[in-house]
């Protein structure tokens, strides 16, 4: 096996990262939630996306740049980034399971990319030939640095996954080209769409070349100096360290934050982390959907003001929830604080996962929390950022389950799996048996090459009310929800840890200022947000103190848990000629209603959907 | 008494108007709702507004145009319209009660206006001197025709009220100037802000000069021909007769509609009325607030899409509700259909009346249906359309209570009052005793100069469940809510009609697609919408089947009815660090809560307010 060490974010040598990921290839999923998705990604999604990248001219753009074909540049000026993001997804898939069609496709695409690169290292297929003289002339709008950043991220992941330098060498040549041009005393500028910060830091981590880290810092430091117009949309209204709220284009804002945390993990500058904490507080207390989705406004694909979280017109772009997961994953690596794992989990299982259909071939760009019906995922988009982004996230999931720190193994996401980690000089294998997220019971059986003393830090999710932990049948102390229960002891092979993380169905209520949700209830169980999806959904109400049960239904939506509850059907009919009616004139028959996981909506009938349900 | 016949809309000779208004001067209010407001308008609001018109240079602009003072034009380019609208308010006040300071102030302002008029009749103080060559060059944006329209409306009302030709002569000279310039075979164009259609038709009605009617028709007919850009904002996207939804700037849209109905009443073109009916259906079934307010969007002061009716960011401009009342008043005059009286009443008592403070000196431009606190009416605005508009509406109220048709007297709004009307050759005096809108019992005592046979058409408001009518102690047949109960008989002096229009407190519910209101309840009683206004309002809930009582409180807000109800206080505190909470963790103490009439909010403490309340 030529494969190396492939964490999605490689903090193994980052001096200010509290946690080191247990890499993707060290984990094998055996669950019925993620394992089929990872397999589907390999077998269906990645090959299908490759076909579309070909059909839409995205790969031809590289062939054209290489002089191999003659035609016009096809599509949007940032289409190169889709190819890079697809390759990053391939890298995670290959880290999980090498070889096969994915490896073959990836190698072929990398070959096309390599041939398109200019002699000086420059690589952007839009700016070839007659557009050469426009290179680097519009950093705000033209996504040149953004595309480069995705190349760097993909290249680092690909090298880690396969040991092959084919994409990494291309990336480093382009990074050197950019580094020659930009920097203190050289050309000044910042990207209008952030991403290169993360990308540069990953190739720094992969190569140890400090100039890439320095360049990432340069691009962060120069924000807020009006180099690209000073707008909130581009997070250029203030220096990064002075930010106190999430504003502007949601994906840009959170990619910036993710890059800032990466920089913090390398440099340790507390002012950066303080800014990130302020922003995080603003976002989670004022500007995030109950699904972990972000970016309420369609206009500018942007964060709204405080408590501006409409349901039906929610933008909540798939990429926004992905960016939220990526940022929070880095906040978790930096700090080991469970609150970040809570948000990463929430965004991953709900707001992001809703972006891809159960068949792995259709995508949502926008993820509303209410629909009058008719919302369908699409095969592709003109601006196709979301399809290639969701595979980056799903591909990283195996690497987000465990991590280590000095003398500790940490669990973050729970999933039936077997994994290996090195801690306290021992190699520890963990066999995890659980039906998470459908059930909160989990059992971990440890095997060690030799007995060792370390802490097993078990995440107590924030959605918990209370947990129970047993080690070898004896009660161990659980900690509060939203923390890690740390069990430090001498571990040996055959030790068994049992967790009970009860998942009652929770009725969630929203801050009174959230106009479209306040006074309503959202059903949540464990990490999953549920929704009603049927003709009754718009008018239905939850009987506040009614019975609610949860049951897994293997026939429903490829197998999901469903919440069955007592409700009031309400009247969706008979409204045609009225906007307002007397409540007394409406029938409110008691009815047995059902909610399904939000991520799985719009995979059956084209029915109305509601996350926030009326209370009765 | 030199005073004439002053209906707000003079349909006395309109061939296609079903109803003829009983004019303002034929009605004397004796109630505790409107009578004090009409008096306050005369004693406080009109003189105060005159002072501000002076302070802000609006009257100086006329002096400047007359060459009497030298300075720059002051304020916004359409500020002349505020002076005309104030004069129209004065006219209604003078029709109700002549003489006094209002007459003196009006005469003085009219004198300034007359002196500012150009020799050719042109009159717009913005387009004087160096701007002369820009006249009529930008009909879309510059409100030249709009200002003219307000002059015409004011002049007709003033002439009717006082018999004086001072303002009418100015208006006719300007109308002739416009008529010389615009029309078929002459200059083509339409106003970007409608109003002139109504104004021209009123001066046609006042003078009988058909060219004014023809010009009004020209301005209506030419819409939708891309003369001003073809935008929905200006209702130029389609010909008027093809409109099927209310779109664009709300006030413009409804002024256009009002003018179209005026034209219909003169010309009888059914296609116009069909379009108006389509639009009305779209508005009332999809795009109108429960307060009768319209124009959900701040951007463009515009109608939103279907069911787009947010509460806290509602625009619902005072002028929009006024326009809604004016349009529906005309629809009622044209058809005699009670549904239009319902909307006129709703908008007048709620969405429009909230635009002026109880002290008669402060105004809302925007009328949200929810507030986090801090909303205060202002003394004036840079764009001061609303303050001078609300006095036009309040001034018309006495003329909106009764009307006549051939052999029928109609009641629309109920109010303690004495009134005179001519019907079936008799002069009928009606003494109405009621505490409407605080109570739904009404008694009407008729006096006739001679016995006569006619129908007394009594409005059965749409908010009714059922009514009782007695004539001289004997039961007469009431009709369904939202219709007129017609009592045809030989009437004689001393006949007494007693009405019982019970006003239970109603819980109103909104269409499931109205995101910010669906599943909530609004309290309504009679024509009035209520709201909660205190610190508890955002989190409070109404216990669905709890007790509710209504009581008039003469100490509260200058005397209003208040609804006392059983509710749940909810938690407004403790949310600082959370956007979402478990419902189970929140206390929901039962609490005695109170709602006040919406029109009277923001007259006490700066507390949060909610029209739509949660249900528990």
Three-class secondary structure of residue B302 per DSSP? strand
The CA distances from residue A356 to A213, A289, A353, A523, in Å, are 34, 18, 6, 21
* Chain B CB within 8 Å of residue A368 CB: no
* Chain A CB within 8 Å of residue B586 CB: yes
Q: Does residue B4 surpass a pLDDT of 70?
A: no
Quick one: residue B405, left, alpha or beta (phi over 0 = left, psi -120 to 50 = alpha)?
A: beta
What is the per-residue pLDDT across B466-484, written as a single tens digit (0 to 9) for each? 999 999 999 999 999 999 9
B391's CB contacts (< 8 A; 6+ apart) are B41, B45, B46, B49, B85, B86, B89, B92, B93
Mean pLDDT, residues B579-604 taken together:
92
What is the per-residue pLDDT across B5-22, written as a single tens digit (0 to 9) for each? 677 799 999 999 999 999
Predicted pLDDT of residue B3: 42
Predicted pLDDT of residue B141: 97
Q: Which of A108-117, B294-303, B536-545, B570-579 has the lowest mean pLDDT?
A: B570-579
Three-class secondary structure of residue B407 per DSSP? coil
User: In terms of C-beta density within 10 A (0-12 exposed, 13-18 middle, 19 or more buried), how is residue B208 classed?
Assistant: exposed
Predicted pLDDT of residue B575: 80
The CA distances from residue B207 to B151, B174, B204, B316, in Å, are 15, 14, 5, 36
Question: Is position A385 annotated as part of the catalytic site?
Answer: yes
* Chain A CB within 8 Å of residue B583 CB: yes
Q: Which residues pair with A456 in a beta bridge?
A: A409, A487
* Chain B CB within 8 Å of residue A615 CB: yes
DSSP-derived secondary structure letter, B363: B
pLDDT band per the 50, 70, 90 thresholds, residue B90: very high
* Chain B CB within 8 Å of residue A278 CB: no
CA B440 to chain centre: 22
Alpha-carbon distance of A541 to B512, in angstroms, equals 11
Mean pLDDT, residues A450-474 taken together:
97
Measured in degrees and rounded to the nearest 5, phi and psi for residue B410 equal -115, 140
Dihedral of the CA atoms A169, A170, A175, A176 (nearest 10)? Answer: 70
CB contact at 8 A, A193 and A259: no
* Chain B CB within 8 Å of residue A594 CB: no
Min Cα–Cα distance to chain A from B585, Å = 10
Dihedral of alpha carbons B166, B167, B172, B177, sign: positive
Binary contact (B586, A509; C-beta < 8 A): yes
Candidates B347, B341, B343, B251; CA nearest to B291 is B347
The CA distances from residue A496 to A431, A447, A473, B357, in Å, are 9, 9, 8, 72
Three-class secondary structure of residue B432 per DSSP? strand
Alpha-carbon distance of A336 to B191, in angstroms, equals 65
Predicted pLDDT of residue A4: 53
Q: Does residue A3 surpass a pLDDT of 50?
A: no
Min Cα–Cα distance to chain A from B376, Å = 19
pLDDT band per the 50, 70, 90 thresholds, residue B1: very low
Q: Does residue A595 surpass a pLDDT of 50?
A: yes
Which residues in A lie closer than 8 A to residue B521 (C-beta atoms)? 583
Q: Report the 3 state secondary structure along A502-550.
A: CCCEEEEEECCCCCCCCCCEEEEECCEEEEEECCCCCCCEECCCCCEEE
Mean pLDDT, residues B381-399 taken together:
97
Q: Which residues pair with A495 in a beta bridge?
A: none
Candidates B277, B374, B519: best to mutate against A (most CBs of A within 10 A) is B519
pLDDT band per the 50, 70, 90 thresholds, residue B492: very high
Three-class secondary structure of residue A273 per DSSP? helix
Three-class secondary structure of residue B532 per DSSP? strand
Binary contact (B509, A372; C-beta < 8 A): no
Alpha-carbon distance of A433 to A454, in angstroms, equals 21
Which residues in B lie closer than 8 A to residue A598 (C-beta atoms)? none
Predicted pLDDT of residue A1: 32
Mean pLDDT, residues A176-190 taken together:
97
- pTM as predicted: 0.92
Q: Which residues pair with A490 in a beta bridge?
A: A453
Predicted pLDDT of residue B572: 79
For tokens 């209101």, the residue is B517
Candidates A131, A244, A256, A289; CA nearest to B580 is A289
- Per the prediction, chain B carries an average pLDDT of 96
Helix then strand count (H, E) for chain A reads 14, 23
User: In terms of C-beta density within 10 A (0-12 exposed, 13-18 middle, 19 or more buried), how is residue B549 classed?
Assistant: exposed
Q: Which residues pair with B489 in a beta bridge?
A: B454
CB contact at 8 A, B529 and B311: no
Binary contact (B509, A586; C-beta < 8 A): yes
What is the per-residue pLDDT across A502-522, written as a single tens digit (0 to 9) for each? 999 999 999 999 999 999 999
What tokens were used for A443?
Answer: 């059992």
What is the per-residue pLDDT across A523-553, written as a single tens digit (0 to 9) for each? 999 999 999 999 999 999 999 889 999 999 9
For tokens 């046979």, the residue is B453
What tokens were used for B22?
Answer: 């009983």
Mean pLDDT, residues A241-252 taken together:
98
ipTM: 0.90
What tokens were used for B195?
Answer: 């109003």
* Chain A CB within 8 Å of residue B278 CB: no
Q: Does residue A576 surpass a pLDDT of 80?
A: no
Mean pLDDT, residues A204-222 taken together:
98
* Chain A CB within 8 Å of residue B520 CB: yes
Alpha-carbon distance of A333 to A404, in angstroms, equals 10
Beta strands in A117-256 (DSSP E): none
CB contact at 8 A, A398 and A22: no
Candidates A314, A343, A515: best to mutate against B (most CBs of B within 10 A) is A515
Question: Is position A144 annotated as part of the catalytic site?
Answer: no
Three-class secondary structure of residue A455 per DSSP? strand
Q: Does residue A210 surpass a pLDDT of 90?
A: yes
The CA distances from residue B581 to A288, A463, B288, B586, in Å, are 13, 10, 33, 8
Candidates A61, A207, A57, A31; CA nearest to A129 is A61
CB contact at 8 A, A313 and A375: no
Alpha-carbon distance of A131 to A522, in angstroms, equals 51
Q: Report the 3 state secondary structure along A136-162.
A: CCCCCCCCHHHHHHHHHHHHHHHHHHH
Q: Mind giving me the DSSP string for A231-243?
A: -TTTT-SS-GGG-
* Chain B CB within 8 Å of residue A306 CB: no
% of chain B at pLDDT higher than 90: 95
Q: Does residue B2 surpass a pLDDT of 70?
A: no
Residue of B nearest to A616 (CA): B616
Min Cα–Cα distance to chain A from B587, Å = 12
Q: Which residues pair with B613 in a beta bridge?
A: B521
What tokens were used for A596?
Answer: 């399904």
Alpha-carbon distance of B199 to B263, in angstroms, equals 11
Predicted pLDDT of residue A605: 83
- Count Cβ atoms below 10 Å from residue A69 Cβ, excluding itself: 12
Predicted pLDDT of residue B502: 97
Which residues in B lie closer than 8 A to residue A590 (C-beta atoms)? none
The CA distances from residue B446 to A559, A568, B98, B432, in Å, are 76, 51, 26, 9
Q: Which one has a higher pLDDT value, B587 or A36?
A: A36
Which residues in A lie closer than 8 A to residue B616 (C-beta atoms)? 544, 615
Residue of A nearest to B511 (CA): A579
Predicted pLDDT of residue B574: 78
Three-class secondary structure of residue A414 per DSSP? coil
What tokens were used for B105?
Answer: 């102030």
Alpha-carbon distance of A238 to A459, in angstroms, equals 35
| Partner residue facing A507 (CB), from B506, B570, B584 | B584
């Amino acid at each position: 096996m030529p494969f190396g060490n492939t964490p999605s974010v490689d903090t193994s040598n980052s001096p200010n990262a509290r946690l080191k990921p247990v890499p993707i290839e060290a984990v094998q999923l055996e669950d019925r939630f993620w394992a089929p998705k990872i397999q589907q990604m390999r077998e269906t999604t990645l090959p299908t996306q490759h076909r579309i990248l070909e059909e839409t001219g995205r790969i031809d753009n590289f062939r054209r740049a290489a002089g191999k074909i003659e035609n016009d540049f096809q599509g949007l000026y940032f289409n190169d980034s889709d190819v890079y993001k697809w390759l990053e997804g391939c890298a995670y898939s290959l880290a999980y399971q090498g070889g096969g069609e994915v490896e073959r496709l990836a190698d072929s695409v990398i070959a096309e990319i390599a041939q398109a690169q200019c002699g000086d290292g420059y690589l952007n297929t839009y700016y070839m030939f007659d557009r050469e003289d426009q290179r680097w002339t519009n950093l705000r709008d033209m996504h040149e640095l953004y595309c480069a950043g995705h190349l760097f991220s993909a290249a680092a992941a690909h090298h880690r996954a396969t040991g092959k330098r084919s994409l990494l060498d291309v990336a480093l040549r382009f990074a050197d080209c950019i580094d020659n041009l930009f920097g203190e005393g050289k050309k000044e500028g910042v990207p209008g769409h952030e991403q290169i910060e993360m990308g540069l830091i990953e190739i720094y981590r992969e190569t140890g070349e400090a100039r890439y880290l320095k360049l990432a810092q340069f691009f962060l430091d120069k924000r807020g100096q009006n180099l690209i117009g000073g707008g909130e949309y581009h997070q250029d209204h203030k220096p990064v360290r002075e930010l106190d709220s999430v504003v502007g284009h949601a994906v840009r804002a959170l990619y910036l934050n993710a890059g800032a945390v990466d920089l913090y993990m390398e440099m340790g500058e507390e002012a950066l982390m303080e800014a990130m904490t302020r922003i995080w507080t603003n976002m989670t207390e004022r500007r995030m959907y109950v699904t972990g989705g972000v970016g309420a406004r369609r206009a500018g694909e942007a964060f709204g003001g405080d408590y501006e979280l409409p349901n039906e017109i929610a933008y909540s772009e798939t990429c926004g929830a992905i960016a939220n997961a990526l940022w929070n994953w880095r906040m978790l690596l930096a700090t080991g604080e469970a609150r970040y794992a809570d948000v990463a989990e929430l965004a991953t299982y709900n707001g992001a996962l809703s972006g891809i259909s159960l068949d792995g071939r259709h995508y949502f760009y926008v993820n509303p929390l209410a629909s009058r019906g008719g919302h369908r995922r699409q095969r592709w988009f003109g601006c196709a950022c979301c399809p290639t982004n969701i595979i980056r996230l799903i591909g990283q999931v195996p690497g987000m389950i465990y991590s280590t720190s000095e003398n500790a193994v940490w669990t973050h996401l729970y999933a039936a799996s077997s994994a290996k980690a090195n801690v306290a000089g021992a190699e520890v294998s963990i066999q995890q048996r659980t039906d998470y997220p459908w059930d909160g019971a989990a059992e971990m059986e440890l095997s060690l090459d030799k007995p060792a003393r370390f802490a097993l830090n078990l995440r107590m999710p924030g959605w918990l009310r209370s947990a129970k932990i047993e080690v070898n049948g004896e009660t161990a102390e659980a900690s509060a929800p939203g923390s890690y229960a740390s069990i430090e002891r001498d571990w040996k092979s055959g030790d068994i840890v049992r967790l009970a993380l009860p998942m009652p169905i929770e009725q969630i209520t929203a801050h009174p200022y959230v106009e479209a949700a306040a006074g309503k209830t959202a059903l949540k169980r464990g990490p999953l947000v549920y929704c009603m999806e049927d003709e009754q959904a718009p008018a239905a109400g939850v009987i506040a103190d009614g019975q609610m049960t949860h049951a897994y239904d293997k026939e429903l939506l490829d197998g999901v848990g469903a919440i069955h509850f007592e409700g009031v059907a309400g009247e969706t009919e008979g409204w045609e000629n009225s906007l307002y009616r007397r409540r007394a004139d409406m029938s409110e028959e008691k009815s047995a209603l059902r909610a399904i996981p939000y991520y799985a909506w719009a995979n059956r009938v084209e029915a109305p959907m509601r996350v926030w349900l009326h209370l009765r």
